[in-house]
Chain A
Amino acid sequence: MKFQIFVTLLALSLSVSAQDTPADTNLIDTASDTSLVIVAPVTSLIAIDHNYDKGEIIDLRWVPSIDDQLLDGKVLGYNVYRIVNNGEPDLIAELPPSTTSFQDQDCHLDSVYSYYVAALSESFEANSNRTAPISTEREWLNFDRKWLFLIALIVGGSVILFITAARRGTKLFVRKIAGLEAVDDAVGRATEMGRPILFIPGIRDMDDVQTLAGLTILGRISRVIADYDTRIFMPTSRSLVMTAGRETIKAAYTAAGRPDKYSDDMVTYYTDEQFGYVAAVDGVMVREKPATVFLLGAFFAESLILAETGNYIGAIQIAGTARPAQLPFFIAACDFTLIGEELFAASAYLSGEPMQLGSLKGQDVGKAIAMVVIVAGVIAATIGEAWDVPFMHDVVGWLSGVFSTR
């Protein structure tokens, strides 16, 4: 009996080895080919439609090749292939080792996609299984931006609330802005000296909110200029800004009761070209020698050239921009500078209208939120780093997500 069992087991083991041997031999033969570096494919590859997009993104995730996880340098990277509507595979991305995800951002609503990922060695490409066919969907609401929506609602609501409060007669305190307090003096100086005032609205078009802010200030300043009966000249680098500038100044002169003093020649267009415009405006400055120069709008490399020329001719200069990179130049070269938000507050400030001032107070609610979040974030990040508290890391991650604009 024992002999029969022994023979059976022997036969069984022989048969098993007989089945294994060819594959093992192949593997050894193949592996003994030193030019071929075999790597394992990636596993668990999945394709998911990206949430809350316009229907153009599919997310791919996978577990990297086991040879990549060993970090022995065998895996040189990954190639991502895409099959559209059961067609031929296309290589859509070449990714470095250790990559575990990819976002295909070139999808269309009416197509069906499947993917596979190839792990690459020096001489081998190990393909993963293909994903199930997938098509994209377009959502109605982007819930990734829900926190941003909430914050916008709070800030916007606060602005409207304070405007309403101002309408009812609530007194609102707004801090003094030196640059705007100096507007009357600057215009008065030009009047006394009998020289013109130069208003430069930046080099961007009407679709830039800084240009819009500059023109709203122009409206208020033009009113003062019309009252003082001083000359204003506004060179522009955009035709639409020229048209809007003319309307603004015309309305201000009409409101001041001096429509006859207005002329279309007060506003002119030179060129869209940045340095061509600078050359033209510098020429005007040097020849006309304006007593006052306003530089209010979006400025780039030309900011310092214009401001220094104004400084050279001895003009009193009031500048303002929302481009942080240009602010140091204006601060260095101009008498007064409206820093960032002051540019946007200027029109409301100059108007003195309660409704306009109410909108400025609404901004303060946004600042309060920003301050609270910054302090909370700094505390969480500091505790998280110093004592390695996972919860604090989560708080920092959550705060980053809340203010993400993706």
Chain B
Amino acid sequence: MITAIVGITFVVSYFIPHFPFNRMDAWFADWFSIIQACAIVLGALNLLKLSAQKVIGKKKDWGYALVIILSFALITIVGLSEGSDYRDPGTGFDWLYVNMFIPLSATMFSILAFFVASASYRAFRARNFEATLLLIAAFFVMIGRVPVGDVITGFMPEGWRLSDLANWIMDYPQTAGQRAIMIGIGLGVVSTSLRVILGIERAHIGSGE
């Protein structure tokens, strides 16, 4: 019932700009933020509980759990001890953030470069007609997006060079395919939303089985 009321309110508010409908999305967003803020305590406590159980029971890989507990304790204590200005440059919290958190995040993100290479190698193998087509398109897009592409085809008239071909592939076949997917997604969202609003789909709230 709550799902249905909230869902219908959102749909209606899209077409009615008048009060109170024009404020509904902001109100619901605020309520969601409040629930979210409360829930994060639940999540953090759960993480600590599981990690503590692992450490106390000396379960497999308990060392990682200990790192979680120590890191959690360190950042919490440092942050709380510095009051409301804990984010200012020069604070201990800021030091931990800049010198530990950011490099660790950047390291994880950097791994992506290697994974792109390995995934591309698999994806671009000419196993069948579609994969060959993908390989050819990818070849032209990649070489057209770097200066050497235009150097190779510099003798050709304007509009017929590799960069133009790369742009054409990106602007037309690629955009058309992506828009087709987007239309399907839009309709899928409508259908899923209706199933949830009408109460036909309830698996996400632990019922409907």
Contacts and interface: CB of A to CB of B under 8 A. Distances in A.
Interface string B167-209: 0000000000010011111111111111110101101111111
Contact of A252 (B22, B119, B209): B209
A367 interface: yes
A301 B194 contact: no
B208 A219 contact: yes
Given A149-B15, A219-B206, A370-B183, 5 more contacts: A160-B194, A218-B204, A279-B108, A305-B108, A363-B187
A155 interface: yes
Interface in A245-288: 247-248, 250-252, 254-255, 264-265, 268-276, 278-279, 283, 287
18 contacts: A54-B18, A149-B15, A212-B192, A216-B203, A219-B203, A219-B206, A239-B36, A239-B44, A242-B46, A243-B42, A269-B44, A270-B47, A305-B112, A345-B191, A355-B200, A359-B191, A366-B186, A370-B187
B15 A142 contact: yes
Interface of B: 11, 14-19, 22, 32, 35-36, 39-44, 46-47, 50, 60-61, 64, 104-105, 108-109, 111-112, 115-116, 118-120, 122-123, 178, 181-196, 198, 200-201, 203-209
Interface in A163-218: 163, 205, 207, 209, 212-213, 215-216, 218
A138 B21 CA distance: 12
Contacts, number: 213
B185 A212 contact: no
A347 B200 CA distance: 11
A239 B42 contact: yes
Contact of A324 (B32, B40, B182, B192): B182
Contacts of B118: 308
Interface in A326-347: 327-329, 331-333, 339-345, 347
What DSSP secondary structure best describes chain B's contact surface? helix
What bracket does the count of chain A residues touching chain B fall in? 35 or more
Residue among B116, B185, B187, B207 facing the most chain A CB atoms (10 A cut-off): B187
A356 B195 contact: yes
Contact of B187 (A273, A348, A367): A367
Contacts of B60: 287
Given A159-B191, A212-B204, A219 B22 contact: no
A195 B168 CA distance: 47
Nearest to A52: B17
A219 B209 contact: yes
B195 to A, nearest CB: 5
Contacts of A207: 32
Nearest to B53: A265
A255 B209 contact: yes
Interface in A300-341: 301, 304-305, 307-308, 322, 324, 327-329, 331-333, 339-341
A213 B203 CA distance: 10
Interface of A: 52-55, 138-142, 145, 149, 152, 155-156, 159-160, 163, 205, 207, 209, 212-213, 215-216, 218-220, 223, 236, 238-240, 242-244, 247-248, 250-252, 254-255, 264-265, 268-276, 278-279, 283, 287, 301, 304-305, 307-308, 322, 324, 327-329, 331-333, 339-345, 347-348, 351, 355-356, 359-360, 362-363, 366-367, 370
A356 to B, nearest CB: 6
B30 to A, nearest CB: 12
B206 A247 contact: yes
A283 B194 contact: no
A242 B123 contact: no
Given A243-B39, A359-B195, A332 B200 contact: no
A308 B192 contact: no
B42 A363 contact: no
B16 A141 contact: yes
A250 B194 CA distance: 25
A231 to B, nearest CB: 14
